[in-house]
Amino acid sequence: MARPMQVSRHWRHFREKYRLIGSKCENGHVHFPKRSICPVCGSRNIEEIELSGKGKVLSWTIVRNPPSGFEYYKPYPLALIELEEGITVLAQLTDVDPEEIDFGMEVEVVTKKIREFEEDGIILYGYKFRPPIK
């Protein structure tokens, strides 16, 4: 099993783990994760933006044979989600019955446990998506 990142690197990327931090160039191209140079137009005039975290399911699959460290969650849904800003992200769906997942289903970002390193006692958190709470 891969080891968690060093403490200094962890704190440098703290915001990105709990929020969807992207970038937007002067020409309006939005990217996630954030970039220092726009891959579309080559602009270096980039501003950091926080994405809405709201989107719709484009496609999904059920992972029944997960990679090492994710056995606890199996089976789990993994989805392509199109955010309001037009960005597509791949993320785990949570708090939803796999039978209820459908194309175009609205979802929102939520911070959840990603995995646990039992030998070190370290718990990694990150973003997943769930249907909006009403």
Q: State the pLDDT confidence band at 114, using cuts at 50, 70 and 90.
A: confident
Instruction: Return the pLDDT at 13.
Output: 57
The pTM of this model reads: 0.81
Q: Output the CA–CA distances (angstroms, integers) from residue 51 to 30, 47, 104, in the order listed.
A: 9, 12, 19
- Give the pLDDT score at 15: 61
Q: What is the largest CA-CA distance in the chain?
A: 47
Cβ proximity of 122 and 4 under 8 Å: yes
Angle value at C-alpha 6, between 117 and 108, nearest 5 degrees: 65
What is the per-residue pLDDT across 55-94, written as a single tens digit (0 to 9) for each? 999 999 999 998 887 777 789 999 999 999 999 999 999 9
